[in-house]
Amino acid sequence: MSLKEAIEKFVPDGSGIAFSGMGGAQCVAQTYEIIRQEKKDLTLFGDSPCEAGDLLVGAGCIKRMEIAWCAYAVAGLAYNFRRAVEEKLPHPIELLDFSNATIGLRFLAGAMEVPFLPTKSLLGSDLVKYNPHVIISEDPYTREKVALVPAAKPDVAIVHVSRADRRGNAQMYGFHSNAENLARAAKTTIITCEEIVGTDEIRRTSNLTIIPEYCVDVVVELPFACHPWNMPYAYAYDMPFHMPQLAQFKTREGFLVWMDEWCFNLEDHEKYCEKVGWKRLHKLAALESKFCRVPY
């Protein structure tokens, strides 16, 4: 189905939501569509929900965040996230801090259908002081201390992959972080992909299938969904586009002007791509292909 239909059907107000993407492959088009539909009171689970986290907070869609980190990596700070925490703009948000490792453990626990997983990595951290959901316990075998983190089971996971078939078998080239565990942990999984291919083509390189069809509820073909971020083996990072965007985000007023221009005044992702310019997008694709060969 279309992205608009998928968000309308599977992301009601009050949902717990998680996005794939780390080190690129951010779910940008998907986030814009959630904002266009003015979804409210969402709980965001994530390791590093860069673009998605900051945009959703700035748009007033987020009630609660259970995350490890929120910023734009090499591009700069997450100004909307910071305003929400420090100035309560556009409204206060609830915040639970985890580490990247322990968010990954939470998704793994959700995927395994176990209530929690143990770790030692938080024992040297102040997170145990400020996060009541981290419980210090005793290893029943060694009597040593361990920290327990609860399973994360979002209502919906939105996972962007390189390609998928219409049955939902999803393949990813390059780093995919917690994507496969998100799909298994969530009650509903929306797969968005750069292209839909035939099932025979998926079977030809079945070792690249990180998410099988039985974990997937809907498939959306969504090329250039990560722009201005990169998508491994598909297109390069559009930093000349991204840097002025983030400079505008330094003020609340600048952010609202940007959202009017690039989100609310555009009907869908295809209109966004037209505004960016198909020629520019295909140049990014050519740049990526020049240095990266698809691994099959």
* pLDDT of 294 over the 80 cut: no
* pLDDT of 296 over the 80 cut: no
Q: What is the pLDDT of residues 50-61, one digit of tens each?
A: 899 999 999 999
Q: Say if residue 141 is in the same domain as residue 161.
A: no
Pairing of strands 116-119, 145-150: antiparallel
pLDDT attached to residue 201:
97
User: Looking at 150, 175, 192, which one is the last position of a domain?
Assistant: 150
CATH number of the domain bearing residue 266: 3.40.1080.10
Tokens 């949902």 found at: 15
Q: Say if residue 85 is in the same domain as residue 198.
A: yes
State mean pLDDT over 189-200: 98
Structure tokens at 76: 């700069």
- Please tell me whether residue 177 adopts helix, strand or coil conformation: coil
pLDDT attached to residue 7:
98
Q: Say if residue 7 is in the same domain as residue 90.
A: yes
The model scores a pTM over 0.75: yes
DSSP line for 135-171: EEEE-TTT--EEEEEE----SEEEEEEEEE-TT--EE
Inter-residue contact 16 to 61 (CB < 8 Å):
no
Q: What is the pLDDT of residues 235-293, one digit of tens each?
A: 999 999 999 999 999 999 999 999 999 999 999 999 999 999 999 999 999 999 888 87
State mean pLDDT over 76-98: 95
Q: Say if residue 146 is in the same domain as residue 192.
A: no
Q: Say if residue 25 is in the same domain as residue 70.
A: yes
* Count of Cβ atoms closer than 10 Å to residue 89 Cβ: 16
- Check residue 174 and report its DSSP letter: S
Comparing C-alpha atoms, which of 285, 280, 224, 242 is closest to residue 3?
Answer: 224
Does residue 104 belong to any structural domain of this protein? Answer: no
* pLDDT of 24 over the 90 cut: no
Q: Say if residue 175 is in the same domain as residue 143.
A: no
- Tell me which H or E stretch contains 192: strand 188-196
Does residue 107 belong to any structural domain of this protein? Answer: no
Give percent above pLDDT 90 in the chain. 91
d(CA 24, CA 237) in angstroms, rounded, equals 8
The reply to whether omega before 49 is within 30° of 0 (cis) is no
Q: Whole-number mean pLDDT of the chain?
A: 96
Angle at 72 between CA 273 and CA 179, to 5 degrees: 75
State mean pLDDT over 217-225: 98
State mean pLDDT over 8-24: 95
pLDDT attached to residue 158:
98
Does residue 296 belong to any structural domain of this protein? Answer: no
pLDDT attached to residue 49:
83
Burial of residue 184 (CB within 10 Å: 0-12, 13-18, 19+) is buried
Does residue 167 belong to any structural domain of this protein? Answer: yes
Q: Say if residue 204 is in the same domain as residue 267.
A: yes
Banded model confidence at residue 115, pLDDT cuts 50, 70, 90 = very high
* Domain encompassing residue 145: 116-150
pLDDT attached to residue 77:
87
Structure tokens at 1: 């189905």
Helices 252-259 and 239-248: crossing angle, nearest 10°? Answer: 130
Inter-residue contact 149 to 116 (CB < 8 Å):
yes
199: left (phi over 0), alpha (psi -120 to 50) or beta: alpha
pLDDT attached to residue 76:
81
Tokens 């075998």 found at: 141
Query: What are the helix (H) ranges across the chain?
Result: 3-10, 28-36, 50-58, 79-87, 100-112, 127-130, 179-185, 199-204, 239-248, 252-259, 269-276, 278-291
Q: Say if residue 261 is in the same domain as residue 169.
A: yes
Q: Say if residue 90 is in the same domain as residue 35.
A: yes
Does residue 106 belong to any structural domain of this protein? Answer: no
Q: Say if residue 224 is in the same domain as residue 144.
A: no
pLDDT attached to residue 293:
77
CA 234 to chain centre: 18
pLDDT attached to residue 257:
98
Q: Say if residue 157 is in the same domain as residue 194.
A: yes
Q: How many domains does the chain have?
A: 2
Q: Say if residue 33 is in the same domain as residue 59.
A: yes
pLDDT attached to residue 75:
78
Q: What is the pLDDT of residues 131-146, one digit of tens each?
A: 999 999 999 999 999 9
pLDDT attached to residue 290:
86
The residues pairing with 137 across neighbouring beta strands, listed in sequence order, are 146
Does residue 283 belong to any structural domain of this protein? Answer: yes
The residues pairing with 190 across neighbouring beta strands, listed in sequence order, are 158, 218
State mean pLDDT over 67-89: 92
Does residue 109 belong to any structural domain of this protein? Answer: no
Does residue 21 belong to any structural domain of this protein? Answer: yes
